[in-house]
Structure 1
Amino acid sequence: MIYRFRVILDNDTDDDVFRDIEILETDSLEDLHNAITQSFGFDGLEMASFYISNDEWDQGEEISMFDVSEGHSSVRLMSETALNEVVHESQTKLIYVYDFLSMWTFLVELAEIVEQAEGTDYPNLMFVHGQIPDTAPEKSFEAENFDDYDEFDDDDDLNIDDYDNLDFDENWN
């Protein structure tokens, strides 16, 4: 079977930027990663991860390109994870983050499952809409406006070098 995905650049503008990609259901998430990076014109050399998502686009389990956990926990890898292991009719959404410095973020949704077309090579870029901007869209987070927090006031005269007046026990252990 063939999975048809719509991959949408997550941005806060009115400009829609997306790609429709067909890929074999048994291909790996790494294959989908390669198809996404090529379809948006990236070189594919930056770190990336997929996150399983729910209907509200909440970020769930990470599936990474490389295991950077240093043995502290088991990490699912893109190259070892088939698409049909994480995406199916009842689980259709993934979040894809490319280049953790720029944080290019894409919403990936399974739109349709179809029969394989004879004579078509997969992955297949079906449709392109919009041009990707030169830089990743800025993300707006609710806690971004730190002026709302009065916890630290500039008039507190807190001097980090004045250890005698700090509120902690230096011999706690």
Structure 2
Amino acid sequence: MIYRFRVILDNDTDEDIFRDLEIRETDTLEDLHNIITQSFGFDGTEMASFYISNDHWEQGEEISLFDLSDEDSTRLMNETSLDSVIHEAQTKLIYVYDFFSMWTFFVELAEIVEETEGNYYPNLMFVQGQVPDSAPQKLFEADEDDDFDEFEDGLDIDDYDSLDFEENWN
């Protein structure tokens, strides 16, 4: 079977920027990563992850391009087939490319169709919009809160006399 995805760039502009892609259900998330990066004009050399998402686009389990953790529990794109994480009941993924720029994409399964003989997969079906030169700025909760102060505890780090430890502790 062939999965048809719509991949939408999360941006704050009026312009819709998305790509419609086709890929075999047995291909890996790394294959999906490759066609996404190519179709949006990235070189594909930056770190990236998929996150399983619910219907409200809330970020769930991470599936990473590379294993950078000390734990063996990290799922990797090249070991994860599409049909093991995407199906009719689970249709959404969040894709983040380049963790310094935070290019964020909403990946949604649009339909599942029979493979068309003579077509090559993965396949870029449709392109809408041009990718901006830099990633759209993300507004985090702390950015939205005007009263946020990371030093709100009121401690003066230069006032050693009021800190709760002995100067010659060793």
Normalised by the size of structure 1, how large is the TM-score? 0.90
Helix, strand or coil for the counterpart of 1:30?
helix
Letter in 2 for 1:37: T
Q: Deviations over 1:132-172 (max 9, x none)?
A: 0000000112321453136857xx6x542321112x34599
Quick one: distance in 1 between partners of 2:156 and 2:78? 51
Change in 2 beyond 3 A, CA 1:106/1:148: same
Q: 1:160 aligns with which of 152, 157, 162?
A: 157
Partner of 2:64: 64
Q: Determine the C-alpha separation between the residues in 2 that align with 1:33 and 1:150.
A: 38
Residue aligning to 2:132: 133
Structure 2 portions without partners, runs of 5+: none
Distance 1:147 1:85, change over 3 A: same
User: 3-state SS of the aligned residue for 1:147?
Assistant: coil
Tell whether 2:35 aligns with 1:35: yes
Q: Which moves more between the two structures, 119-128 or 144-153?
A: 144-153
Change in CA separation of 1:12 and 1:159 when aligned onto 2, cut-off 3 Å: same
RMSD: 1.9
Q: Given that residues 142 and 148 in structure 2 are in contact (C-alpha distance below 8 angstroms), is that contact kept between their aligned partners in structure 1?
A: no
Within a 5 Å distance, the mapping from 1:83-98 to structure 2 comes to: 83-98=82-97
- The one-letter code matched in structure 2 to 1:160 is I
Structure 1's unaligned 5+ residue stretches are: none
Distance in 1 separating the partners of 2:150 and 2:80: 45
Q: Which stretch of structure 1 is more off in the superposition, 136-145 or 60-69?
A: 136-145
Partner of 2:146, secondary structure, is helix
Q: Distance in 2 between matches of 1:55 and 1:170?
A: 53
Q: Distance in 1 between matches of 2:89 and 2:45?
A: 32
Per the normalisation by structure 2, the TM-score is 0.91
**CA pair 150-116 structure 1, distance change in 2 beyond 3 A:** closer
Change (3 A) 1:28 1:14: same
For the structure 1 residues 151 and 75, does the alpha-carbon distance in structure 2 shift closer, same or farther, using more than 3 Å as the test?
closer
Shift in alpha-carbon separation, 1:43–1:151, aligned structure 2, 3 A: closer
The equivalent residue for 2:147 is 148
Matched, 1:118 2:117: yes
The amino acid that maps onto 2:39 is S
Identity level (%): 74
User: Across the two proteins, how many residue pairs are aligned to each other?
Assistant: 167
Question: Kindly tell me: are residues 170 and 26 of structure 1, through their superposed partners in 2, closer, same or farther at Cα, counting changes over 3 Å?
Answer: farther
